[in-house]
Structure formats: structure tokens, C-alpha cells
Amino acid sequence: MPRVMSSAMLAAIQAPLLRPALFVQIGFASATVYIWSGIGDVSWNGQTWKGLGALLGVPAVEDGVTVQARGTVLSLSGLDAAILGDCMGDFQLGLPVLIYLGLYDGAGGLIPDPIEIWSGRTDRPALDLDGATSGVQIACENRLIDMNVAVDRRYTQQDQQMTWPGDLGMQFVDSVQERLIYWGVALNSTNI
């Protein structure tokens, strides 16, 4: 996917020392969660992003030259059991997920306009429990996955009214279903 980046981001990418940070926006039923791969809080894009450090796992995000739905799995580890229960209770399928790549300059300031590197929706969570720690892995799917879902629409007046109320473009569809139509010269009774 082509990405537009500011001149400051382009200069930071071309610099000999790269200082990256990942910003992840995950939708839950009651609120949207803003987390990032560093430590502490960061204000960007009108939001306060909570730093999870190494507790946030984001695998490599894939791009390709073919049109293909490529998903990813976000992992949140080291969660308290009470927080994990709240997370699972508030989880809802199909809510938006955005992943941004941000860069820091030499002075430690976030360069404006981080790049959106992946967008999709939440798919399914999986618990990761052992004796000492607990965590959750959230599978996320690209919106292109919807290309595999059959469209359940019909060419009827009722279906047309759901999208375009008052439109009469499909009002005669039902009446022509079993009609015998002669093209060109009409047949007389001897030809039947």
C-alpha cells in the first residue's frame, strides 16, 4: 500500500540511527484503547497513548504486490487477572484496529505524522495462561477478508427500498420473471 509521509519522517527513516515506536489503536465495546510500544504516556493525534513496553507484542506487518487479506496477531502479556477478565468481557468482534509506525528524533521528540502501516478489525481473542503470568492474543483481520463473504442481496423492489427508499427502478422486476417476451416480429397463432 503506498504511504504518504512528511519530509521529517522521510529524513528520520534515512538517518543512520532509527528510533522507532509502534502505536496501536484497538476498539473494544465500551471504549477505544490507545497503547504504544514504549514506556510512559505519549500524547499524539489528540489521544494519550499508554506505554506497555515489552508487554505489547506486534509481529511483522506484511505487504505484498497481490491483493490478499493479510492479518496479524497482537499480544498483550503480563496482565493482571482482573484486567484480563475485563478485557475479555469487553471484547467485541469486528471493531477497528490501527497500527502506526512512529519515529523519534535525536532529541527524544516524536516526529509528527506517524505512518499507518496496518488497519483492520478484531477477529478473535485467545487467552495465554500459565502459572505466573497471563495474557491475551488478539487476532486481527484485514478488511479484504470480506471479499470471501457472499453478498445476500436480491434484485427486487423490497431490497432496492432498503438502500434507496422511494426509488422505483425495480418495481417491475417481479412481473417479468415468467413473462414470455418476443424479440422482433411477434408470433402469430400458427407458429406456436
> What digits encode the pLDDT tens for the residues 128-150?
776 666 778 888 888 776 766 77
Please name every residue paired with 121 in a beta bridge, in sequence order, or none if there are none. 96, 141
Give the percent of the chain with pLDDT over 70. Answer: 82
Say whether pLDDT at 167 is over 80. Answer: yes
Say whether pLDDT at 182 is over 70. Answer: yes
Provide the greatest CA pair distance for the chain. Answer: 94
The CA distance from 191 to 183, in Å, is 14
Chain mean position to CA 164 = 27
Confidence of residue 4 (pLDDT cuts 50, 70, 90): confident
